Amino acid sequence: MAHSPGVTTVTTEQSDILALARAQVLENGEGLSEAQVLEVLRLPDSVLEELLSLAHEVRMRWCGPEVEVEGIISLKTGGCPEDCHFCSQSGLFDSPVRAAWLDVPMLVEAAKQTAKTGATEFCIVAAVRGPDERLMAQVAAGIAAIKDELDINIACSLGMLTPEQAEALAAMGVHRYNHNLETARSHFAQVVSTHTWEERWETLRLVREAGMEVCCGGIVGMGESLAQRAEFAGQLAALGPDEVPLNFLNPRPGTPFGELEPMSGPDALRAVAAFRLALPRAILRFAGGREITLGDLGARRGLLGGVNAVIVGNYLTTLGRPAEADIDLLGELAMPLKALNDTL
């Protein structure tokens, strides 16, 4: 790649970590350690393109060119008793988001619209600490109705589970369960006070035990240090999830993190590449906040920098780019949409 001569000198240490990542991750499929991820996160902008292209090579080598496309829907919005400081759906903050429930016909319609884009994943989300009987019944009815009408993989994200609930969801045909660790263990108490990182970890263990795929990621840009961002990547690698959704903080009005600055584009891209190098085989999904942090070019930059899954259309409470824009981009990049058969 072209560097502007004299602008930045790349030190031996910087080229070393990239050379090492090439040998260790690209050739051998062995993810970077926490300390190595930290070195990557500290790389200067002058080697960002080189880093992104390595992350892209790693993704192509260990995951292939397919992109997994997902739509998400909020079944129960707002009024959550937890206090995750980034979240507009907590009932404890003065956020403009009001509580709402979606009915089953609307849920089925949302699944149909998602499938129409070519997406193979449909994730049903509820803003709760964990599901109660009413929510479990609503989810069961919703999944049955969706499965009646169309073929799509169904994932859920309903908070912390009991062993019985994990079993019940698996029996309903939920193929993947999302539960984010959100941030590094050492930073978690700065982000959430109503439950612990360990409680989240326990739910992830139950999800795997029940036979569902594990989807676990978090949000970067919540005031964590680079060392903590690397720590988080290391903790995710230790968990070994099937999918890692990576969000960038989108500061929500009325929340404790409402006044934080969104991450810079280069920092966000460095995080994407670093997470790919820590997790060479995971489905790495661009989740929320990419529009704010990276603008219109974000999808392209991410998909050429380690990302191999996207959320199309809107998010839970905010709006995304038009789904067609992302689907067209995949065509342009010659990245086929992952087919349903591949994932069943």
- Residues engaged in binding another protein (CB under 8 A): 71-74, 77, 96-100, 102, 106, 109-110, 112-114, 117, 253, 291-292, 312-320, 323
**82 forms part of the interface with ligand SF4 (CB under 6 A):** yes
Which of ligand SF4, another protein, none lies near 127, with the C-beta cut-off 5 to 8 A by kind? Answer: ligand SF4
In this complex, which beta carbon is closest to another protein, that of residue 22 or of residue 112?
A: 112
Q: Which of ligand SF4, another protein, none lies near 80, with the C-beta cut-off 5 to 8 A by kind?
A: ligand SF4
Q: Considering the rule CB under 6 A, would residue 127 count as an interface residue with ligand SF4?
A: yes
Q: Of 23 and 106, which CB lies nearer to another protein in the complex structure?
A: 106
Cα 157 to Cα 128: distance, rounded to the nearest angstrom: 9
Residue ranges in 22-63 assigned as alpha helix (H): 34-41, 48-62
Question: Considering the rule CB under 6 A, would residue 75 count as an interface residue with ligand SF4?
Answer: no
- Compute the distance between CA of residue 59 and CA of residue 43 in angstroms, rounded to an integer: 20
323 binds, among ligand SF4, another protein, none (CB under 5 to 8 A by kind): another protein
- For another protein, the closer of residues 67 and 181 by Cβ is 67
216 is in an annotated binding site: no
Q: Restricting to residues 136-175, which ones interact with ligand SF4 according to CB under 6 A? A: 159
77 contact choice in ligand SF4, another protein, none (CB below 5 to 8 Å, kind-dependent): another protein
Q: Which of 196, 143, 145, 199 is nearest to 170 (CA)?
A: 143
State yes or no: 156 annotated in a binding site.
no
- Using CB under 6 A as the binding rule, whether residue 216 contacts ligand SF4 is answered as no
Q: Which is nearer to another protein, 162 or 264 (CB)?
A: 264
Per-residue burial over 46-80, b if 16 or more Cβ lie within 10 Å, else e, is: ebbebbbebbbebbeebbeebbbbbbbbbbbbbbb
Q: Which is nearer to another protein, 8 or 264 (CB)?
A: 264
The listed partner (ligand SF4, another protein, none) that binds 165, CB under 5 to 8 Å by sort, is: none
Minimum CB separation of residue 328 from ligand SF4 in Å reads 31
CA 24/CA 19 separation, integer angstroms? 9
342: tokens are 């591949």
- Between β-strands 100-101 and 68-77, what pairing exists: parallel, antiparallel or unpaired? antiparallel
3-class secondary-structure state, position 243: strand
Q: How many CB atoms lie within 10 A of CB 261?
A: 8
- Site pattern 88..117 for ligand SF4 (x: CB under 6 A): -xx---------------------------
What radius of gyration, in Å, describes the C-alpha atoms of the chain?
A: 19
Asked if residue 301 lies in contact with residue 294, where contact means CB atoms within 8 angstroms, the answer is yes
- The SS3 of residue 126 is strand
89 binds, among ligand SF4, another protein, none (CB under 5 to 8 A by kind): ligand SF4
φ/ψ (deg, to 5) at 290: -70, -30
Q: Is 63 annotated as a binding residue?
A: no
Q: Is 237 in the site for ligand SF4 (CB under 6 A)?
A: no
* Residue of 25, 69, 84, 123 that binds ligand SF4 (CB under 6 A): 84
DSSP bridge partners of 67: 337
What is the signed CA dihedral for 300, 263, 218, 93, rounded to 10 degrees?
Answer: -130
Annotated binding-site residues for [4Fe-4S] cluster read 80, 84, 87
